[in-house]
Structures are given as C-alpha cells and as structure tokens.
DNA sequence: GTCTATAGAAGGATAGAC
DNA sequence: GTCTATCCTTCTATAGAC
C-alpha cells in the first residue's frame, strides 16, 4: 500500500467519521462522505466495499476511543477520592473536545446492540472488581461500598459525565432561555460532579 | 369526522409512534408504518400529508408525555426530600413502561433542536424557581442550594433517572456478562437514586 | 487508483378508480 | 375513505474506461 493510498483511505475514514457523527448511520449519505473527502463516490466502495463496512470501521474506532478513556482510572495510583476527581476531569475534558460522541454511541448501540458485543466480551468484570478492591479496600469498607452497589454507583458516575452531552440539544435550548452557557456549565460540572459523588459516598452508609 | 375515520387516523398514529420509536425518523419507512397499521401506504399521505408531518405529530405527543411527567413534582405538597423520592418513583416508573422514549427524544432533539423550541419557550423558569423557593425556602437555605446550583442539580437528577434508559443497549450487554438483570437494576434505582441525591444534598454545603 | 456512467432497488409522494 | 398503479427522486453499488 503506497503513501498516497494511505492518504486517500485516511481522508475517507476521517470524512466518514465526521458525517456519521453528524447524521448517524441511517441519516448519512455516501455522497456526503465523498464530497467531504473531495473524492468520487465509487472510491468509497473501492476502499470499504459497502456503507455498512465503512460505518463499522468508524464505529469501532469511536467506541475504542471512548472506552479507552475509562481505563486509566483503574490503573492510576491515587486515592479513591482523587480517582473520582481525576475521572471527571479527564472524561468530561475528553467529551468537551468530542461532543457528539455520546449521542452517537448511545443511539447506534440502542439501534444495534450486537455491535458492542466484541467490546464488552473482552472486559473481565471479575478482574475490575478485584483491582478496585485490592487498591481501595479501606475506603470501600469505610464507605460501605459493596460489590452489589457498584453497578448503581458506576452508572451514576458515568451518567453525570455523559448525559449532559447526550442531552446537549435540550440543555442548550433551555440554557439559552436562562442566559446561561453550555460551555460554562460543562466546565463547572467537572468539580460539581466530583463533589456531589464524593459527598454522597462518604455519607450514604449512615 | 366519522368514527371510522378517527379509528384509522388513530391506528396510523399509533403505528407511526411504534415505528418511529423503534427506528427513528431516518430509519423509519412509510411502508413499515402502513404495514403495521394494516392499511395502504397512500392512506398515510391522505391523513398526514408527508412523512415529516407524521413524524412531527408523533414527536410532539411523545415530548408532551415525557415533560408532563416532570410537572407534578412542582405542584405536589411535599417536603423537598419527599419530592425527590416521589420524582424518582414516578419518573423511573413511567420510563419502565416507555423504555425507548429517552433514546428516541435525545437523538431526535440533537438531530433537530428546533423541534423543541416550542416546548421550551412555554416554560417560565423564573416562575419555577420562585415556586421552588417559596415552597422550600427553609430546606434550600439549610442545604445551601442556591439558584446558581440549580441547573447542575436538576441535570444530575434527570440524568440519574433518564440515562440508564438511554444507555439501555450498553447496560444490557454489560449486565448479561455479570449475570445481572436490567429490570432489577431499574427497580433498585428508584431508591438508590433518591438516597444518593438526598445524601449529597444534605452534606454538600459543609 | 480514480473517474464517468449507469444499473438496480427503495423510498416518498400523487393520480385516479371505486 | 381506501385501494392500485405509477411517477420521480434518491441512494447504494458496480461496470468499465483511463
């Protein structure tokens, strides 16, 4: 594969990502992608065979990117509280630069959950819990965080960071009416979410 | 309009709702809707003129239904804590019976925010805050809930109830791997979310 | 590898009979 | 009000020249 092939293939891929993120699988048109890449429509098929394959390539890339942002939380050597702060800073920071990602993923996964199966099946949840427990057994005991509560807790944490972006359309409409700004709201949220979760954790077992 | 007209129009509307919720605006096909209603495709145009008008009718109905579920919270004569519990019970309970609603709305609004404008412009946020404040001034002061914090707080509350449904595709894949059940998780969530939020509120101002 | 041209299918919409 | 037939456009995909 020559250098120029690679360039074209990359330009197609980037354009597809752009268009699919904007319009979704059903709303995207091969012609739009070709125009965006400045090439002919048939080249899309030459490189990716079909719309579905092109979409799959894009979907996998996007899903990998997003999930990769969750991983460091379990590695980094920090206290539980610092990890939570770290997560909200990093994750919300990442979404600030990739705002359409949450809505895209949630929608496409609901539309076709099978696409996710490969990603999920690679995760060893047993190991995740073990890591968490060995690293923070003191904190977990102190705050009475049991294994049974973890799904509720994780869902809450993820939702606090992801939901505002998934609901950006709604929030921007509302904020406009209140003379507020979505970007400011998001910037604030890094600290608010961390404070909120940590406070709840520390006091919930009482 | 005769009784049978009404019946047909309703059957079309219900079928459209079903199909649009399942496939979204872009993914839905007029033929699917006609099949689902057991009528001919051209009848759709006879009653609703175009796909876009049919979709708009459905969208408005759905948005009205969902937002209507937020309203009682501000009316009911309860303590702040009871209101929060009441909200999670009612709202999650409603979504249990209408699981595809959140994903549908979030997606379609992101795709075309203008559709929401009519709904939002009717809300008087000044009045909402005034109502809240007159009803709960003691609690608000005690917990140091200021007007500035309200958007973060409300977004958090809504996200805790809505996000699991919007992310149902992901959660079901994950839960399957953990021998968990989405329905049980949701049932648990009514209490978990209320406890979590109330605990955070009561202790955050320290 | 990239283009033009076009096939082939599907979708939204309408005309017109009953 | 409901159906059949059909128009017209759009979209994915491929054939074939260069």
Among chain A residues 163 through 202, which have CB within 7 angstroms of nucleic chain D? Answer: none
Q: How far apart are CA B78 and CA B90, in angstroms?
A: 14
Q: How far is the CA of A6 from the C1' of C2 (A)?
A: 14
Is B132 within a domain? yes
* pLDDT tens for each residue of A35-93: 999 999 999 999 999 999 999 999 999 999 888 888 888 888 899 999 999 999 999 99
At residue A2, the pLDDT reads: 57
pLDDT exceeding 90 applies to what percent of chain A?
87
The SS3 of residue A54 is helix
Domain check: are A106 and A183 in the same one? yes
Domain check: are A18 and A76 in the same one? no
Q: How far is the CA of A5 from the C1' of C1 (A)?
A: 8
Burial zone of B110 (CB within 10 Å; 0-12 exposed, 13-18 middle, 19+ buried) = buried
Question: Is residue A1 predicted with pLDDT exceeding 90?
Answer: no
Compute the nearest-CA separation of B4 from chain A (Å).
35
Q: Name every residue whose Cβ is closer than 8 Å to that of residue B193 and which is 6 or more positions away in sequence.
A: A156, B88, B92, B157, B160, B161
Task: Pick the residue from chain B with its C-alpha nearest to A187.
Answer: B152
At residue A89, the pLDDT reads: 97
Contact residues on chain B for A166, CB-CB shorter than 8 A: 106, 110, 163, 166
Compute the nearest-CA separation of B160 from chain A (Å).
6
* pLDDT tens for each residue of A163-193: 999 999 999 999 999 999 999 999 999 999 9
Domain check: are B145 and B184 in the same one? yes
At residue B3, the pLDDT reads: 57
Q: What is the mean pLDDT of residues B141-147?
A: 94
Task: Kindly report which amino acid residue has its CA closest to the C1' atom of nucleotide C2.
Answer: A43
Domain harbouring B29, CATH code: 1.10.10.60
Question: Is residue A15 predicted with pLDDT exceeding 70?
Answer: yes
Question: Is residue B183 predicted with pLDDT exceeding 90?
Answer: yes
Question: Is residue B204 predicted with pLDDT exceeding 80?
Answer: yes
Q: How many CB pairs under 8 A join A and B?
A: 167
Task: Pick the residue from chain B with its C-alpha nearest to A63.
Answer: B170
Contacts of B80-88 with CB under 8 Å at 24 or more apart are B80/B136, B80/B139, B80/B140, B81/B139, B81/B198, B84/B157, B84/B194, B84/B197, B84/B198, B85/B194, B85/B198, B87/B157, B87/B161, B88/B160, B88/B161, B88/B189, B88/B190, B88/B191, B88/B193, B88/B194
CB atoms within 10 A of CB B60: 13
Lowest mean per-residue pLDDT among A39-43, A86-90, A128-132, B185-189: A128-132
* pLDDT tens for each residue of B150-169: 999 999 999 999 999 999 99
Contact residues on chain A for B178, CB-CB shorter than 8 A: 125, 151
Domain check: are A70 and A15 in the same one? no
Nearest alpha carbon to residue B190 among B67, B94, B68, B85: B85
Question: Is residue B2 predicted with pLDDT exceeding 60?
Answer: no
Q: How far apart are CA B31 and CA B47, in angstroms?
A: 15
Domain check: are B41 and B134 in the same one? no
Going by pLDDT thresholds of 50, 70 and 90, the confidence category of residue B23 is very high
Question: Is residue A3 predicted with pLDDT exceeding 60?
Answer: no
Domain check: are A136 and A42 in the same one? no
Is A172 within a domain? yes
Question: Is residue A101 predicted with pLDDT exceeding 90?
Answer: yes
Is B179 within a domain? yes
Going by pLDDT thresholds of 50, 70 and 90, the confidence category of residue A25 is very high
Is A55 within a domain? no
Is B57 within a domain? no
Lowest mean per-residue pLDDT among A119-128, A145-154, B85-94, B143-152: A119-128
At residue A71, the pLDDT reads: 82
At residue B101, the pLDDT reads: 96
Domain check: are B176 and B199 in the same one? yes
Is A57 within a domain? no
Domain check: are B163 and B188 in the same one? yes
Q: How far apart are CA A13 and CA A37, in angstroms?
A: 9
Going by pLDDT thresholds of 50, 70 and 90, the confidence category of residue B206 is low
Domain check: are A165 and A110 in the same one? yes
- Count of domains for chain A: 2
Instruction: Please name the member of B107, B125, B177 whose beta carbon is closest to the beta carbon of A177.
Output: B125
The whole-chain average pLDDT of chain A stands at 94
At residue B126, the pLDDT reads: 92
Name the one residue in this structure whose structure tokens are 């904190």.
Answer: A139
The residue among A144, A156, A206 with the most chain B CBs within 10 A of its CB, best to mutate, is A156
Instruction: Please name the member of A123, A159, A167 whose beta carbon is closest to the beta carbon of B160.
Output: A159
At residue A49, φ and ψ (nearest 5 deg) are 70, -55
* Two structure tokens written together for B126: 């000044």
Domain check: are A123 and A25 in the same one? no
Is A100 within a domain? yes
Burial zone of B5 (CB within 10 Å; 0-12 exposed, 13-18 middle, 19+ buried) = exposed
Range of the domain at A10: 3-49
Q: How far apart are CA A5 and CA B206, in angstroms?
A: 60
Domain check: are A23 and A71 in the same one? no
Q: How far apart are CA A91 and CA A66, in angstroms?
A: 9
Contact residues on chain A for B155, CB-CB shorter than 8 A: 163-164, 167, 171, 185, 189
**Contact at CB, B193 and A164, closer than 8 angstroms:** no
Domain check: are B158 and B109 in the same one? yes
Is B191 within a domain? yes
Could you give the angle at the alpha carbon of B165 between the alpha carbons of A201 and B188, nearest 5°? 45
């Amino acid at each position: 594969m020559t250098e120029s092939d690679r360039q074209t293939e990359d330009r197609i891929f980037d354009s597809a990502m752009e268009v699919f993120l904007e319009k979704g699988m059903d709303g995207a048109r091969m012609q739009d992608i070709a125009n965006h890449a400045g090439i002919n429509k048939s080249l899309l098929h030459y490189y990716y065979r079909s719309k579905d394959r092109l979409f799959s390539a894009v979907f996998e890339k996007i899903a990998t990117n997003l999930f990769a942002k969750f991983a460091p939380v379990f590695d980094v050597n920090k206290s539980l509280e610092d990890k939570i702060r770290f997560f909200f800073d990093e994750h919300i920071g990442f979404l600030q630069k990739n705002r359409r990602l949450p809505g895209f993923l949630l929608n496409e996964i609901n539309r076709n959950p099978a696409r996710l199966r490969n990603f999920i099946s690679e995760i060893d949840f047993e190991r995740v819990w073990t890591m968490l427990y060995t690293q923070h057994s003191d904190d977990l005991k102190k705050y009475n965080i049991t294994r049974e509560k973890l799904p509720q807790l994780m869902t809450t944490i993820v939702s606090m960071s992801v939901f505002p972006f998934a609901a950006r359309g709604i929030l921007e409409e509302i904020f406009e009416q209140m003379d507020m700004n979505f970007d400011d709201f998001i910037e604030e949220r890094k600290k608010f979410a961390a404070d909120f979760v940590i406070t709840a954790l520390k006091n919930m077992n009482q």
